[in-house]
Amino acid sequence: MGISSALTRGALLLALLGLVGCAGRLTPPEASVAPVTVYLLDHGRHASLVLPRREGGMVRYSYGEWRWYVEGERHLLAGASALLWPTASGLGRGVHETITTRGELSGLAPEGLVRVYPLVAEEARVVALKRRLDAHFEAPGVAPVYSEEFDLAFVPYPRAYWLTHQSNLVTARWLRSLDVEVRGIPWLSNWRLEAPPHPIDQQKDET
């Protein structure tokens, strides 16, 4: 990699570090024809998403850098390279057939929970996101690697991990696909739940 490319990446990192204090402000959609509850899990520095299963139970998805999350390389050099250069990434999935309530969510997150954000979304959007994520596990020749530390099975993800495509930003993208408005940059898993705006009362306007 040339000097100019390294400087560009360094500048991007510095610019992003100036925004890490920004919260991802979450606003669920105003209404839903067939509402279901999904859960955003804040683990302190990264987040994961829990979706309900039509068959019963819940399934958790998490995105991360392959060496960091799957191979356990947690030293400073590995962390720096994961941010400054595109590196291999993985998609994690944990299926929990017996967990059905919010109070049981700590049982599917061995890395710990800081906060749980319940969000209402349209069932059709949830099914579509789940189908899209599950497709990575059903691809030919894919052999999931189980992580006991996170209780997740990981498969390679086609897009590389680095500072503009890290775990919390990917989670925010999943939420947007569920029609949840995400404003701000939750780079360090800073989230804030905001109530959806109330619809205009037409009767008051007419009086």
- pLDDT of res. 203: 34
Convert the pLDDT of each residue in 52-73 to its tens digit: 999 999 999 999 999 888 887 6
119: Cβ contacts below 8 Å, ≥ 6 apart: 26, 28, 37, 38, 39, 40, 175, 178, 180, 193
| pLDDT band at residue 201 under the 50/70/90 scheme | very low
Single-letter amino acid code for the residue at 102: R
Q: Is the pLDDT of residue 17 over 60?
A: no
Rounded-to-integer distance, Cα 71 and Cα 74, Å: 9
Question: Do strands 115-122 and 87-96 pair parallel, antiparallel, or not at all (unpaired)?
Answer: unpaired
- pLDDT of res. 192: 93
| CA distances in angstroms from 130 to 65, 76, 187, listed in the order given | 21, 34, 23
Q: What is the pTM of this model?
A: 0.82
Rounded-to-integer distance, Cα 35 and Cα 86, Å: 37
- pLDDT of res. 196: 67
